[in-house]
Amino acid sequence: MARIDFGGVKEEVITRKEFPLSRARRVLKNETVAVIGYGVQGPAQALNMKDNGISVIVGQSKAFKKDWDRAVKDGWKPGKTLFDIEEAVQRGTIIQLLVADAAMKHVWPLIKKHLEPGNALYFSHGFGLVYNELTTVKPSKDIDVIMVAPKGSGTSVRRNFLEGVGINSSFAVAQDATGRARDRCLALGIAIGSGYLFPTTFEHEVTSDLTGERGVLMGALAGIMEAQYDVLRKHGHTPSEAFNETVEELTQSLIRLVDEQGMDWMFANCSATAQRGALDWKPKFKKATLPVFDELYKSVKSKKEAARVMRSCGKPNYKDQLTKELNRIRDSEMWRAGKAVRALRPKNKAVAITKNTKGIGGRSAS
């Protein structure tokens, strides 16, 4: 492990230099990884492992025709590398449980009865295990229980891999029945395309993840954007101007500077007027939102959020309700303006992504 200084606190991380792809292949040489669920994370992790030379099969219910058809389109062969869930579990030695959190309660009985001593049960989120009174996921003591949680959507996991860069992931070992759980976990982390891995626990991962998704990463970001857009429109600014000053400049310019070298770097590369205003108003926004984040964290820790997910997402008509909610966002003036703005962006025809099968970076990671 490398010890890295994160803002004055030293933490241990695993890099591809310390755990190269060649080592991951050796660890997984005699394993068959069964990816259960071909929805959000499943396609990216399965395809990345396949491209990295790992033996992978997919388990997907035919009842979800869209996901089954997507797997077939991606090259998985029914009866050879694509099976129903129960048969995939029987054929696998490492079972990657990548179905939606709310679906775990329904899928777990199909998986549990086919797990054998020495198998590994893999998660990419702590939800199923930490909230097992809701999901019913309670593994027996004779299997490894591990987690690799990429810090990004499945789309980003696959895109970063194809572009030759890694996505950072957290990892955890909840149960080591074989004495090989850690090696299996890290090997899978490298095989799915992680740039580096940092240790956590299942509970810490799910708590930070649920807080982040509801907060800065999605919920807060969307809410703040809508609030600023509405204020600008109320005072007579055009939709294009309100959208550009709220979303477009953030996503196409400023956030890229933050990504490069941090918030101070972004501030330093803006006008003096922008710097002064940002520095003066930042404390006000922090003071205004801190109580909301405290409330959010308490809601996650108390398991209220998990219960809400299971209750809402498990309803038979949930997909119809979700579509209505997403359509309201899509059809709002703000995001209709956004569609028009995006259509006006200059097209970059010089960049093309090509699939590599030599591991991340288009070169041997060994």
219 with 154, same domain? no
> Pairing state of beta strands 94-97 and 82-83?
unpaired
Any domain includes 364: no
184 with 227, same domain? no
Any domain includes 349: no
How much is the pLDDT for 116? Answer: 97
How much is the pLDDT for 348? Answer: 58
Catalytic annotation, pick one of 114, 125, 204, 235: 125
Report how far residue 245's alpha carbon sits from residue 351's, in angstroms, rounded to the nearest whole number.
27
Place of tokens 């990657």: 96
- The conformational region for residue 205 under phi > 0 = left, psi -120 to 50 = alpha, else beta, is alpha
Report how far residue 269's alpha carbon sits from residue 289's, in angstroms, rounded to the nearest whole number.
26
- The conformational region for residue 147 under phi > 0 = left, psi -120 to 50 = alpha, else beta, is beta
- 48: closest CA among 170, 148, 173, 183? 148
181 with 41, same domain? yes
Give the chain's residues under pLDDT 70.
1, 348-366
Domain that holds residue 328: 212-343
Any domain includes 174: yes
171 with 278, same domain? no
218 with 197, same domain? no
Q: What CATH number is given to the structural domain containing 24?
A: 3.40.50.720
Any domain includes 47: yes
| Integer angstrom CA distances of residue 212 from 216, 259, 355 | 6, 17, 31
28 with 146, same domain? yes
Q: For 111-153, what is the HEC assignment?
A: HHCCCCCCCEEEECCCHHHHCHHHHCCCCCCCCEEEEEEECCC
139 with 187, same domain? yes
171 with 218, same domain? no
Any domain includes 100: yes
Number of domains into which the chain is organized: 2
Place of tokens 């200059």: 346
DSSP at 166: -
197 with 220, same domain? no
Any domain includes 76: yes
Any domain includes 206: no
How much is the pLDDT for 193? Answer: 95
Task: Show the tokens assigned to 146.
Answer: 């591990």
Rg of the chain over Cα atoms, rounded to whole angstroms, equals 22
Any domain includes 354: no
191 with 287, same domain? no
241 with 94, same domain? no
125 included as an active-site residue: yes
171 with 231, same domain? no
